[in-house]
Structure 1
Amino acid sequence: MSEPVMLIEQANNRGTLYAVVEQDDRVAYFYLYPSELLTSKYSPRPCWLRNLMPAPAKKDVAAMKEGMAPMLEVAFCNHPQGKEPLEKERLAIVWLEEGDGAAVMYDDEILGVIPGWSLYNEEHSVAYAADCIGAGDTDRLMPLGKRGTNAMYDRVDQAIAFWKEWSDETSQTWSILQDKFIKAYEGAFGPLQQYYAIDGDQWPPMAIGKFEKDGIVYLLTLGVSIRPMPWVELLYNERSPGFRRMELAMAFRKDDFSDKEMMNMGSFMSGLADRPWKQVTWLGEGHTVKSDELVAPFESVVLSSALYNGPEIQLPEVYGDKVNLYWLSPITKLEREYAHVRPNAGYYLLEKMIEHNLNHVAAKRPELPFE
């Protein structure tokens, strides 16, 4: 038996996962591998693509015992006598917009899909293959089926259109979206005073806008919501369009913070804007994040849209999805620990903050009392 040969390898946008197609003289497989920094958090995900030899009658346990990729048994394979080897020139990878799932294409047709949500649950890891026609009770390979019978087709089509749009140098998508966000923010906080690019010349374009109104400085991101966040589809299922896109914001009383202190916290917000994709995670209401950029006694922030009680902000939808604007409110170590005493305790912290008349505007204040 020959050693597997890698036909194609492609990293996602932030280099956190790698899509690979390999084949030996028996079988071809598609894999998603985590980067070295994420190997302790996520496991590789396989997707059988095709047998190159006659399919075995039963599960290919012998190959697995030898540490080899198993062939698919004959009952679940649409080519019992095997197919010709894949040609690398005809292969292409399409990453889903979240960057946690991908499809492999062959002559522009889907061969296999590993959805992002399969990355997060070892027991429910699933892949879809075009040449699979059935699955055993415990198998994690499912038939892709025909168009109209599997939502994966629409997901991959959407991803192809998304990347095509953003790779088109003549596209006005960013300038249009940029203008919509700036107008939404100006409608609430007055004219844009300064504009800071925070994307480091990487896609997607992201920025922070600085505004000032009634002695309060506002820093708000734009462009973060271009990408849906990982994890959210698994956690919210059909409700995920309401939670998978975000922008971030901070507000400061000028009397409480110096320009340097505000800019340091803005720098922290800039790094946080890319965290879901750099760490394959997500951010949402009540989440807390530690930071060394905060002014003592604060050492973390809590994210919330519920704390906001200012003028209405008419944020645009992005790809038909609601965009959540999460305000970063500085909290102390004790307050953060209170938010972690039980599941979803971040919501209880927010309730306590609201009870004590705290809102989206950061201010130097005494620590919240806890019984």
Structure 2
Amino acid sequence: MSEPVMLIDQPNNRGTLYAVVEQDERVAYFYLYPSELLTSKYSPRPCWLRNLQPAPEKKDVAAMKEGMAPMLQAAFCNHPQGKEPLEKERISIIWMEEGDGAAVLYDGEILGVIPGWSLYNDEHAVAYAADCIDAGETDRLMPLGKRGGNVMHERVDQAVAFWNEWTDETSQAWSVLQDKYIQSYEAVYGPILQYYAIDGGQWPPMALGKFEKDDIVYLFTLGMGIRPMPWVELLYSDRSPGFRRMELAMAVSKSDFTDKEIMAMAGLMSGLSDRPWKQVTWLGEGHTVSGEDLPAPFESVVLSAALYNGPVINLPEVYGDKVNLYWLSPITKLEREFAHFRPNAGYDLLEKMIHYNLNHVVRKRTELPFE
């Protein structure tokens, strides 16, 4: 038995996952593999694509015992006599906008899909194949079905349109969105004073805008919301459009902190701007993140929209989704530990902060009291 031949190997935008199509003389498969840094967190995900020989009548246990990819049973595929081998020149990969799921196309038509939410639960890892006609005894491989009958078709179409827009050299997508962001911030906090690119030359374009009003420096990100965050679709299901896009903000009192300290906080924001996609995670209300360069006694920040009590900032919608604006508020080690003592205790910390009249403006303060 010959070794499988790799037909395509393509990483996502941040190199956290790899999409691979392989085939031997019996069967073709599509896989998502985590990068080396994420192998302890995520497991590979397979998706059968087609049999190249007549299908077995029963589950291909013999192949699995030999460490080979199993063929799909005859009753579950639309070509029980087998199909011709895949040609690598006709294969392309489309990553979902989050970067955690992908589809393999053949001459532009979907062959298989591994959705991002399948990555996060080993017991419910699901893939969809165009040539599968029945899930059979397992729900690990599902029929892709026809358009209108499976939302995966729409999701792949959206991803194709998304990448076409952002790879089109004539596209004005960023300049239009950039202007909308700046106008939203300027409407509340006056003219932008400084604009810092924070994308490191990588797609997507992201920036940090600096504003000042009433002796307070305001820092806002622009461009994080272009990409929806991983995990959110699984966690929020139909409500995910309200939680999957975000920008960061920070308001720092100039009378409490030096310019150097304020720029260190800006550096923390810049580092956080790519975190969900570099680490395949998400950020939301009550989440905490450590920060080495914060002025003492602070050593972390908590994210919150609830702490904000200023004028309404009307951020633009992005691809029809709400963009959440989370304010960063520095916290001490003890406060962070309080936010982690049980699930969702970050909300408890925010309630305590609000109780003690803390809001989105960062000032020097004493540690919150804990009994």
Tell whether the structures are fold-level matches, with TM greater than 0.5: yes
CA separation in 2, counterparts of 1:272 and 1:343? 22
Letter in 2 for 1:22: E
2:159 maps to which residue?
159
CA separation in 1, counterparts of 2:3 and 2:343? 47
Letter in 2 for 1:242: G
Q: How far does the alpha carbon of each residue in 1:94-135 deviate from its partner, in whole angstroms, 9 at most, with x for none?
A: 000000000000010000000000000000000000000001
CA separation in 1, counterparts of 2:271 and 2:68? 41
Structure 1: which 5+ residue stretches go unaligned? none
CA separation in 2, counterparts of 1:177 and 1:185? 13
2:6 maps to which residue?
6
Specify the SS of the correspondent of 1:298: coil
1:114 maps to which residue?
114
2:231 maps to which residue?
231
1:17 maps to which residue?
17
CA separation in 2, counterparts of 1:198 and 1:349? 30
2:304 maps to which residue?
304
CA separation in 2, counterparts of 1:154 and 1:310? 39
2:207 maps to which residue?
207
Q: CA deviation at 1:70?
A: 0.3
1:94 maps to which residue?
94
Q: How far does the alpha carbon of each residue in 1:140-198 deviate from its partner, in whole angstroms, 9 at most, with x for none?
A: 00000001100000000000000000011111110010000001001111110000000
Q: CA deviation at 1:137?
A: 3.2
Specify the SS of the correspondent of 2:211: strand
Q: CA deviation at 1:2?
A: 1.3
Is 1:336 aligned with 2:336? yes
Q: CA deviation at 1:264?
A: 0.8
Aligned ranges for residues 313-332 of structure 1 at < 5 Å? Answer: 313-332=313-332
CA separation in 1, counterparts of 2:187 and 2:319? 22
CA separation in 1, counterparts of 2:138 and 2:345? 36
Letter in 1 for 2:290: K
Please say which of residues 135-144 and 339-348 is displaced more in the overlay. Answer: 135-144
CA separation in 1, counterparts of 2:29 and 2:137? 21
CA separation in 1, counterparts of 2:310 and 2:216? 11
Q: How far does the alpha carbon of each residue in 1:240-297 deviate from its partner, in whole angstroms, 9 at most, with x for none?
A: 0000000001110001111111111111110101000000000000000011011110
Q: How far does the alpha carbon of each residue in 1:194-248 deviate from its partner, in whole angstroms, 9 at most, with x for none?
A: 0000000100000000000001000100000000000000000000000000000
Which 4+ stretches in 1 moved above 4 angstroms? none
Aligned ranges for residues 208-287 of structure 1 at < 5 Å? Answer: 208-287=208-287
CA separation in 1, counterparts of 2:186 and 2:139? 53
2:150 maps to which residue?
150
Is 1:41 aligned with 2:37? no
2:171 maps to which residue?
171
CA separation in 1, counterparts of 2:65 and 2:279? 33
CA separation in 1, counterparts of 2:53 and 2:154? 32
Specify the SS of the correspondent of 2:268: helix
Structure 2: which 5+ residue stretches go unaligned? none
Is 1:288 aligned with 2:288? yes
CA separation in 2, counterparts of 1:138 and 1:52? 21
CA separation in 2, counterparts of 1:151 and 1:160? 14
CA separation in 1, counterparts of 2:252 and 2:147? 52
CA separation in 2, counterparts of 1:355 and 1:137? 54
Letter in 2 for 1:82: G
CA separation in 1, counterparts of 2:43 and 2:343? 25
Specify the SS of the correspondent of 1:367: coil
Specify the SS of the correspondent of 1:103: strand
Letter in 2 for 1:360: H
TM-score, length of structure 1 as denominator length: 0.99
Letter in 2 for 1:25: E
Specify the SS of the correspondent of 2:237: helix
Please say which of residues 197-206 and 138-147 is displaced more in the overlay. Answer: 138-147
CA separation in 2, counterparts of 1:83 and 1:327? 55
Aligned ranges for residues 31-70 of structure 1 at < 5 Å? Answer: 31-70=31-70
Q: CA deviation at 1:311?
A: 1.1
CA separation in 2, counterparts of 1:135 and 1:192? 56
Sequence identity, in percent? 82
Letter in 2 for 1:260: K
Q: CA deviation at 1:138?
A: 2.8
CA separation in 2, counterparts of 1:218 and 1:43? 41
